[in-house]
Amino acid sequence: MSGWLATRVIPFCLHAACAEVERRWLRIAPRTLARHLPAAGPVLYLPCAVTPAMDAAPGLLAGCRELAPLLRVRWLVAACAIGCDGPREWLECRAGDGGLCARLHLLPDSDYLGWDALLAAAVPVGALGRSWPGDERIEAARVLDFRCRRLAGLDLLEARPAARVSALGGGIARGIARAAGLALGC
């Protein structure tokens, strides 16, 4: 019986994994993102490779090289889909030219109210309707807790590895990282 069930469930799950992704475009300033991101708690952070020509974000500094892509963010694309393992929600962080800077994935350990507050801090806009093929240059995958603090009149965006992640959250993060062709870092 379980053999029969397995052959019937797998095609359903593959079909569900290909479910349509719903996307909402939001306009956001890098400082607003930096100030609201810590409230989301631990999230899976997938940054793109840092390009030499970085856009400056006045009044905002990245605490390390890995966070530099977030200084370029001008758009958030709030995406959600339902796959065979349940609902997934993430943010595509995009630069002014539409290029992908990073992705942030909501985990079961994340603070859902903080995530919603981050989305509420952005300004909804109509869908730009443009796709950017080949912009998947993800270079790492880490579950991080973000922090933003004032330092000498500037906002400093920092992050540290999440202190506690549930087995479910860790499994989901590893699966997303694996789908991006990466191992989950610490």
Q: Provide DSSP, 15-77.
A: HHHTPPPEEEEEE--HHHHHHHGGGG-SEEEEEBPPPSSPPP-TTEEESSGGGGGGGGEEEEE
Q: Identify the architecture of domain 21-179 in CATH.
A: 3-Layer(aba) Sandwich (3.40)
- Domain definitions of the chain by residue range: 21-179
Summarize pLDDT for 2-22 with one digit per residue, the tens: 443 343 333 333 334 456 888
Provide the whole-model pTM.
Answer: 0.84
**Range with the poorest average pLDDT among 68-77, 125-134, 163-172:** 125-134
43-60: average pLDDT: 79
For residue 49, what pLDDT band results from cuts at 50, 70 and 90? confident
Which residues have a Cβ under 8 Å from the Cβ of 66 and sit 6 or more positions away?
Answer: 47, 140, 142, 159
> In the chain, pLDDT over 90 holds for what percent of residues?
59
Q: Collapsing DSSP states into helix, strand and coil, what is residue 117?
A: helix
Q: Which amino acid is at 154?
A: L
pLDDT at 173: 95
Please say whether the beta carbons of 57 and 125 come within 8 A: no
Residue 186: predicted pLDDT: 61
Residue 56's pLDDT is: 67
Pair of tokens at residue 113: 């109210």
Cα 43 to Cα 133: distance, rounded to the nearest angstrom: 25
127-151 tens-digit pLDDT:
665 555 455 688 999 999 999 999 8
* Rounded mean pLDDT, 80-101: 88
The predicted pLDDT at position 53 comes to 53
